[in-house]
Amino acid sequence: MTSPTPLPTGRSRRRDVVQRPPAVFVVLAVAGLALFVVPLAGLLVRTPWSNLATLLATDVVTQALWLSLVSSLGATAISLVVGLPLAWLLARVEFPGRRLVRGIVMLPLVLPPVVGGAALLFALGRRGLVGGPLERATGLVVPFTTWGVVIASTFVAMPFLVITVEGALRNLDGRHEGAAATLGASRWTVMRRVTLPMIAPSLASGLVLTWARAFGEFGATVTFAGNLQGRTQTMPLAVFVALDGQRDAAVAMSLVMVIVSLVVLVALRGQWWPSR
């Protein structure tokens, strides 16, 4: 009947009121952000910029950094190889005790890392459940070696991959995989060309979380692999040691870890999460 009249001119103002966030939220959010920013600022202020290069060019630092990178990437790779099938089984296959298995996989998330390291030691140590027979059979000794670092890091970090990927697989519309099958695709082709690409964003964030957790790993590593420079002393361990007496070196190494983490995060964002 009547044609719609133009909206009153006060509209945008009204909308501003509706969209304005509650003041309490803003204050609390800023406090939360400060918890991240202030320590970083503290680190930057305390950084001995003038002799940074000298501090970092020591064997201790380069070896620790190299070890950290190798072991965290190794842990991420192992997590991908065994964690992806594990996530797939948990998401797709009904088997007795699935809830229990899922609980076990999630346990390292809540378990204190030191306890995890101790458990690894009891299992894989030279007199451990598996470690003894393993050494007798192959001569391989895991604890207090670089392999020990990788295994300790995998132990604490892999749940991040499994939990992320399992969630993605559960939320995935499985009918796309059925559609691919009707087009003649084998199970392997379906996995490679449909399932994995469809969960790629989750897989990428799972990998980043896993790597980040492994890169910063301290407790399980120091317990299971010890603190041997050049073999098991990763950056976090080196920082912890340096804090006792060599504050400047500790700060410099911390800064390096911050930078490496940021670089990896930004690089992965660009390459693995293309803005579609």
The minimum distance between CB 204 and other proteins, in angstroms, equals 13
Q: 115 or 179: whose CB is closer to other proteins?
A: 179
Q: If you write DSSP's letter for every residue of 57-104 in order, what string do you get?
A: SSHHHHHHHHHHHHHHHHHHHHIIIIIHHHHHHHHH---TTHHHHHHH
The minimum distance between CB 227 and other proteins, in angstroms, equals 45
Q: 25 or 188: whose CB is closer to other proteins?
A: 188
Q: 132 or 174: whose CB is closer to other proteins?
A: 174
Q: Cβ(61)–Cβ(253) under 8 Å?
A: yes
Q: 89 or 172: whose CB is closer to other proteins?
A: 172
Long-range contacts of 42-50 (CB under 8 A, 24+ apart): 43/251, 43/254, 43/255, 43/258, 44/255, 46/247, 46/251, 47/251, 47/252, 47/255, 48/248, 48/251, 48/252
Nearest Cα neighbor of 151 from 200, 117, 122, 190 is 117
Q: 66 or 273: whose CB is closer to other proteins?
A: 273
C-alpha pair distances (Å), 3 with each of 6, 10, 104? 9, 20, 65
Residue with tokens 């399980």: 220
C-alpha pair distances (Å), 270 with each of 9, 84, 120, 263? 43, 23, 37, 11
Q: 195 or 223: whose CB is closer to other proteins?
A: 195
**Angstrom distance (rounded) from CA 276 to CA 264:** 21
The minimum distance between CB 264 and other proteins, in angstroms, equals 24
By rule CB under 8 A, what string of x and - marks binding of each residue 31-70 to other proteins? ----------------------------------------
* Residues within window 75-104 making contact with other proteins, judged by CB under 8 A: none
Instruction: Count residues near other proteins (CB under 8 A).
Output: 20
Q: 178 or 270: whose CB is closer to other proteins?
A: 178
The minimum distance between CB 11 and other proteins, in angstroms, equals 31
The minimum distance between CB 197 and other proteins, in angstroms, equals 4
The minimum distance between CB 184 and other proteins, in angstroms, equals 4
The minimum distance between CB 189 and other proteins, in angstroms, equals 6
Mention every residue, 6+ apart, whose C-beta is less than 8 A from residue 2.
Answer: none
Q: Cβ(227)–Cβ(154) under 8 Å?
A: no
* Residues within window 254-273 making contact with other proteins, judged by CB under 8 A: none
In this structure, what token pair is assigned to residue 51? 């002799």
By rule CB under 8 A, what string of x and - marks binding of each residue 167-206 to other proteins? ------x-xx-xxxxxxxxxx-x---xx--xx-x------
Q: Is 127 in the site for other proteins (CB under 8 A)?
A: no
Q: For binding to other proteins (CB under 8 A), which residues are involved?
A: 173, 175-176, 178-187, 189, 193-194, 197-198, 200, 276
